[in-house]
């Protein structure tokens, strides 16, 4: 099983990298697998790599579901 989560790009860095944020946590990731990413885009993150861009509404719904599942556990 693998887990990929939506994250928001907050800064584009040199060498196909970006700074992303999720729930107040910031992380540097690789954009080597995805083209045309800009600040404000949401991407699916898996093991340090952006896999694809995702629609902001879909990203928000997914993050809300993750948040709700934490409350159940």
Which of these CATH numbers, 1.10.3720.10, 3.40.50.10210, 2.30.30.140, 3.30.360.10, describes 5-72?
A: 2.30.30.140
Q: What is the DSSP letter of 58?
A: H
The larger pLDDT score, comparing residue 1 to residue 48, is at 48
Integer angstrom CA distances of residue 9 from 17, 68, 69: 10, 23, 24
- Kindly state the helix (H) or strand (E) to which residue 4 belongs, with its residue range: none
User: Over the stretch 5-36, which tens digit does the pLDDT of each residue have?
Assistant: 999 999 999 999 999 998 899 999 999 999 99
Q: What is the DSSP letter of 1?
A: -
Can you give the residue ranges of every domain in the chain?
5-72
- Amino acid 40: pLDDT: 97
The larger pLDDT score, comparing residue 72 to residue 6, is at 6
Residue with tokens 């699916």: 44
- Kindly state the helix (H) or strand (E) to which residue 73 belongs, with its residue range: none
């Amino acid at each position: 099983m693998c887990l990929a989560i939506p994250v928001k790009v907050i800064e584009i860095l040199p060498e196909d990298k970006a700074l992303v944020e999720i729930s107040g946590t910031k992380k540097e990731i690789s954009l080597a697998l995805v083209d045309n990413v800009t600040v404000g885009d949401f991407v699916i993150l898996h093991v340090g790599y952006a896999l694809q861009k995702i629609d902001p509404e879909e990203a928000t719904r997914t993050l809300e579901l993750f948040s709700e599942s934490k409350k159940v556990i």
